[in-house]
Structure formats: C-alpha cells, structure tokens
Amino acid sequence: MPPEGPPKLPAAPLRLIVDHDALAANWHTLDRLSGTARAGAAVKANGYGLGARAAVRTLGNAGCRDFFVAHWQEAEALLDLVDPASISVLHGPATSDEARWAKAAGVRPALNSLDQVARWQSVGGGPCDIMVDTGINRLGLALSDLSDPAIAALDIDIAMSHLACADEDNPRNAVQMARWREACGVLQPRRASLANSAGIALGAAYHGDLTRPGLALYGGIPRAEFENEIAQVARIETMVLQVREIAAGEGVGYNATFTAPHPLRIGTVALGYADGFLRAWSDCGMLRSNGSPLPVIGRVSMDMSGIDLSAAPEVREGDWVEVDYALPAAAQASGLSQYELLTILGQRFSR
C-alpha cells in the first residue's frame, strides 16, 4: 500500500455560520424600505466581522452597487470584486500618499476637511464624495467650509452626512436632516445620502438618493420598525471539550463566581473572550443543544466557558452546541452593543 500522507489539520472547534441568503434578503428589504432611494452597503470592519469579500459577492449579486469602507486596506481587498468607482473610503486621504493611492486605484475618497480637499486636488482630483458634519462632531466639513472656492472645483458624486441619534426619536435628527439638505443645496452633488440603517426608518425625508445601511444588513435591529423585517445572519456553534459531574458547593471557573447549588453535570466549551465571547457573558450567556437551554456558568475565560448540561443529558464530548446570538436579545443580555457583538468576533472561527 502507498504510504499515507500527513494527517489533515482538524477543523476549528468554533464555527461562525453566515446565512448569505438572509444577508441578501436583508439588503432587498432595506432597499425596499429606502423608497425611491437606492440602498448601498457599509462593508467596513471586514463586513461587520462576517467577511467583507463574501458579503460583497452576496450583496453585489443581490443588486447592491455602492460599498462603503473606512480604510484604504479595506478598499484594496475588494478591488477585484467590484468596480473600484463603486467603493467610497469614508476616512478620506490623511496624507498625500493616501490621495495618490486612491487616484491610482480609482476608488472615491470621502473628503472630510479642506486639507483633504487640497490633497485630492493636488493629485489631480476626480470623482469624490464629501462628508459634511451636521452635528455628530466626528469627521466632516463644517457647513461654513462649503463656500470655499476649492469645494466648487470638486467632482462630487455623493454629499453625505451621518446621523448621531437615528436609533432614537430625537429632535437632533430633524436638525441634522435640515443641515444636510442645506449642504446639498450648496454642493449640488450627483447624489445625496444621509440615512444609515436606523435612519432608513425615519422616513423619506432622510433618504436622499442613496441610503447606507450597515448593522441591519447583518441582522441587527436598530429600531423597532425592523423587528419583523430583518433576518438573523450570524450564528455561532462551539464544540464541547469536556463533560464532568460536580458536587453541590463546587465552584466553576476563575474566582468561583458560580457555585453549584446541587450536584450538576457541566460542560466546558471552546469559546472565550479571545474569540469575542467576552466576560460580559459570564453567568448570563445561553447556549443550546437541539433547543434545550445550556446556561453559561462561571466566568468566561480566554479560550473556554462553562455550561450547565442539566437540560441536555445526551450531550457528550465532541458534540456541537449553538450560542444564542440573535443580536437584539444578545445585546440586552450582555450589555454589549449589537455592533460590538459582530465586530469583536475573533479569527479562530471557521467561517
């Protein structure tokens, strides 16, 4: 018999399962809810932690034609998948080298200051976007900057701003919308964009020509209006590493934050804070086996967490269990934001 080759590397004991049908359906939903505007897609932070390249393929096949990233490296990773001119880089060129790279790559920089405007023009300019600060006080040109002669010379595709309080019924939303409309009147861009995921629910006055959903694409529910509209996209499964019986009074995990009230059958799973399952889940997270609840017990550690197997006596070492990770409920249970729950997921998951 021929000699066998080296053993195949075992699969990771963690799975991040991305439902691309749900991702596409969410884009179609948000595009519909955007009314006469077209929905783009924020795919920054590696597609909100779920894989930007795969997300862009799915969204492009669904009909999305505008993609928003934060960094040049995020744009470079997508150049072979879409028309570079469909990519907007939100942070803009902080240096002349960045401006030159954007020009050569053919992506659109979002210009956030008069200095960035000057850098873009110094490399020859071309189609760009403008971010106007209408009240969030992060990035963006001030309204008073828009009359600068350098602005008039730009080839502006999208004039955009970003809402600070779209997930709330807050009077600041209307103030920002009015300032954005004023800015668009000055800039005369080809397209105007204000609404993020939550902003889409605020109505047509916030939509402009293009909306920029992010969180809701990936299963987040930023406002109650989306509760029956948006599908869960990300699911997590982990392997049971060990099963044991402990006596009443025994502690579980660091500092014995959980003490067994009676004899218990418990498991240790391959999931910890190095994977993005933070200590916030200690003594409050929930896993399941065929629907049976498996509460997290004790303190989450770097690579492992403890679970109570009382409701699933059939679970053995090597079995897979699922983490409750529907974003709204998970955020309420953990105290983390829905954005954090996605973007902190680590690299040890098989995807």
Q: What is the mean pLDDT of residues 31-53?
A: 98
Please report, rounded to a whole number, the percentage of residues in the chain having pLDDT higher than 90.
98
SS3 76: helix
SS3 98: helix
Lowest mean pLDDT among 4-18, 40-54, 85-99: 4-18
Q: What is the predicted pLDDT for the residue at 351? A: 85
pLDDT over 70 (residue 172): yes
Q: What is the mean pLDDT of the chain?
A: 97
> What residues contact residue 339 under an 8 Å CB cut-off, 6+ apart?
48, 215, 220
Predicted confidence band at 294 (pLDDT cuts at 50, 70, 90)?
very high
Using alpha carbons, list the distances in angstroms from residue 311 to 117, 137, 144, 282, 293.
61, 50, 63, 19, 6
Supply the angle between the helices 96-105 and 114-122 in degrees, to the nearest 10: 60
Active site residues: 44, 254
Cα distance between residue 145 and residue 30, in whole Å? 33
In terms of Cα–Cα distance, which of 253, 343, 323 is closest to 14?
A: 323
Q: What is the predicted pLDDT for the residue at 37? A: 98
Q: What is the predicted pLDDT for the residue at 153? A: 96
Predicted confidence band at 5 (pLDDT cuts at 50, 70, 90)?
confident
Amino acid residing at 143:
L
Q: How would DSSP label each residue in 197-262?
A: HHHHTT-GGGTTTEE---GGGGT---SGGGTTT----EEEEEEEEEEEEE-TT-EESGGG-EE-SS
What value, to the nearest 5°, has the Cα angle with vertex 350 and ends 347 and 351? 95
Q: What is the mean pLDDT of residues 27-38?
A: 98
Q: What is the mean pLDDT of residues 293-321?
A: 98
- Is 323 within 8 Å of 305 (Cβ atoms)? no
Q: How would DSSP label each residue in 247-293?
A: -TT-EESGGG-EE-SS-EEEEEES--GGGT--GGGTTT-EEEETTEE
In terms of Cα–Cα distance, which of 266, 293, 271, 292 is closest to 282?
A: 271
- Is 307 within 8 Å of 287 (Cβ atoms)? yes
The H-or-E segment that residue 103 falls in is helix 96-105
| Paired tokens of 317 | 């070492």
Task: For each of the domains in the chain, give its residue range(s) and CATH number, in order of start.
Answer: 20-220 (3.20.20.10), 234-343 (2.40.37.10)
For the beta sheet containing 127-131, the strands, ordered from the edge strand earlier in sequence to the opposite edge, are: 41-42, 67-69, 87-89, 108-111, 127-131, 155-160, 191-193
Q: CB-based burial of residue 347 (10 Å sphere; 0-12 exposed, 13-18 middle, 19+ buried)?
A: exposed
Residue range 242-262, pLDDT digits in tens:
999 999 999 999 999 999 999
DSSP lists the bridge partners of residue 238 as 14, 321
Q: What is the predicted pLDDT for the residue at 1? A: 56
Please report, rounded to a whole number, the percentage of residues in the chain having pLDDT higher than 70.
99
Predicted confidence band at 7 (pLDDT cuts at 50, 70, 90)?
very high
> What residues contact residue 118 under an 8 Å CB cut-off, 6+ apart?
150
Residue range 308-338, pLDDT digits in tens:
999 999 999 999 999 999 999 999 999 999 9
Q: What is the predicted pLDDT for the residue at 309? A: 98
Cα distance between residue 244 and residue 301, in whole Å? 18
Q: How many residues does the chain have?
A: 351
Longest dimension (CA), the chain: 80
Residue range 74-94, pLDDT digits in tens:
999 999 999 999 999 999 999
Predicted confidence band at 53 (pLDDT cuts at 50, 70, 90)?
very high
- Is 186 within 8 Å of 147 (Cβ atoms)? yes
pLDDT over 90 (residue 4): no
pLDDT over 70 (residue 2): no
